[in-house]
């Protein structure tokens, strides 16, 4: 044990009422969702995105994210859930994937926006702010609960969990003080949030979807690096753990999207993109 460390003594449960258990992780997740929706709506006002459309996308994106979070977690732990399919819907017992939440929320809202012909680029941009602040607040719950296990370290900000109900209690006994890896992620997310404001308002105000791509690339790099400090993910391919493998796939998919955003015509904030010409007709430039 190092001479200096951070001891976290709290129970992960706030209170129990019948069969309902309110955990710190659940509370911070709820706060994160509320804050994410509010920030996304606020950024929608900044870029003059239709408020009704923004509300609708939030109503679609949040449940899509919950479904995605559970689906990817179940896929990662199919050895257990395949034998106990009745536990797949037992969300009160925990078990979500942050990558699943991000990808599920984005995919659900994106498909809905394409179906309803909403402006997709600006919609992705404002959604990125909401997702990011939601992730950051949710990681505060991870710190209190001890949801994820870090590698042992003697650094002065190492953590140990002393409450027997904490998921990291046994790990703290066997491994000793360890990295607060999700707290590193929290700090990285806040730095990325600041960068996104600069990208949207200063660097690429006329490139819809570029702010979202900065978010998804930055988050992928962050997860890829910080997963090396965690011991709670299995290796799935090429020596990569699940969050790293997903991060690589997302980074590869982001390359053509970035090229597309950079070569398409610029679009100022508040400008409505021109509809495509009818089939068989060539647009005529006048003036």
Q: Residue 89 pLDDT more than 80?
A: no
Look at residue 5 in the predicted model and tell me its pLDDT.
76
Q: Residue 3 pLDDT more than 90?
A: no
Q: Residue 233 pLDDT more than 60?
A: yes
Give the DSSP per-residue string, the chain: --SS-EEE---SEEEEETTEEEEHHHHHHHHHHHHHHHHHHHHHHHTT--HHHHHHHHHHHHHHHHHHHHHHHHHHTHHHHTT-GGGTT-GGG----HHHHHHHHHHHHHHHHHHHT--HHHHHHHHHHHHHHHHHHHHHHHHHHT-S-BPB--STT-EEE--TTSTTHHHHHHH-SB--HHHHHHHHHHHHHHHHHHIIIII-TTSTTHHHHHHHHHHHHHHHHHGGGB-SS-EEETTEEHHHHHHHHHHHHHHHHHHHHHHSPP--TTPPPPPPPPTT-------
Lowest mean pLDDT, pick from 11-15, 92-96, 283-287: 283-287
pLDDT digits (tens, 9 = 90+) for 235-286: 888 889 989 999 999 999 999 999 999 999 888 776 655 555 555 555 555 4
Higher-scoring residue by pLDDT: 266, 87: 266
pLDDT digits (tens, 9 = 90+) for 122-176: 999 999 999 999 999 999 988 888 888 899 998 889 999 999 999 899 999 999 9
Look at residue 280 in the predicted model and tell me its pLDDT.
56
Contact at 8 Å (CB) between 6 and 157?
A: yes
Q: Residue 76 pLDDT more than 50?
A: yes
Residues 6 or more apart from 216 whose CB is under 8 A from it?
A: 102, 128, 250, 254
Give the percent of the chain with pLDDT over 90.
57
Look at residue 35 in the predicted model and tell me its pLDDT.
95
pLDDT digits (tens, 9 = 90+) for 202-222: 999 999 999 999 999 999 999
- Is 6 exposed, middle or buried, given 0-12, 13-18 or 19+ CB atoms closer than 10 A? middle
Within 13 Å, how many C-alpha atoms sit on residue 272's CB side? 6
Which of the four pLDDT bands, split at 50, 70 and 90, describes residue 287? very low
State the pTM of this model.
0.87
Region class of 273: left (phi > 0), else alpha (psi between -120 and 50), else beta: beta
The mean pLDDT of 214-236, rounded to a whole number, is: 91
Bridge partners (DSSP) of residue 8 are: 161
């Amino acid at each position: 044990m190092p001479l200096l460390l951070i001891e976290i003594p709290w129970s992960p449960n706030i209170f129990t009422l019948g069969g309902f258990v309110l955990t710190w992780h659940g509370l911070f997740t709820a706060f994160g969702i509320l804050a994410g929706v509010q920030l996304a709506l606020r950024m929608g006002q900044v870029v003059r995105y239709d408020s009704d459309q923004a509300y609708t996308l939030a109503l679609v994106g949040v449940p899509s994210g919950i479904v995605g979070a559970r689906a990817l977690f179940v896929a990662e732990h199919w050895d257990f859930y395949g034998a106990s399919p009745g536990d797949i819907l037992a969300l009160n017992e925990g078990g979500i994937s942050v990558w699943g939440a991000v990808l599920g929320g984005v995919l659900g809202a994106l498909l809905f926006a394409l179906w309803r012909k909403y402006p997709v680029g600006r919609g992705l941009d404002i959604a990125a702010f909401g997702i990011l602040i939601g992730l950051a607040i949710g990681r505060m719950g991870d710190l209190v609960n001890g949801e994820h296990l870090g590698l042992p370290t003697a650094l002065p900000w190492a953590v140990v969990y002393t409450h027997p109900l904490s998921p990291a209690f046994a790990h703290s006994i066997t491994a000793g003080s360890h990295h607060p890896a999700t707290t590193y992620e929290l700090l990285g997310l806040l730095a990325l949030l600041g960068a996104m404001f600069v990208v949207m308002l200063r660097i690429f105000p006329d490139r819809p979807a570029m702010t979202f791509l900065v978010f998804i690339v930055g988050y992928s790099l962050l997860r890829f690096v910080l997963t090396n400090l965690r011991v709670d993910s299995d290796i799935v391919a090429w020596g990569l753990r699940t969050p790293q493998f997903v991060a690589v796939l997302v980074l590869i998919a982001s390359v053509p999207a970035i090229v597309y955003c950079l070569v398409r015509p610029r679009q100022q904030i508040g400008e409505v993109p021109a509809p495509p010409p009818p089939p068989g007709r060539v647009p005529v430039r006048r003036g």
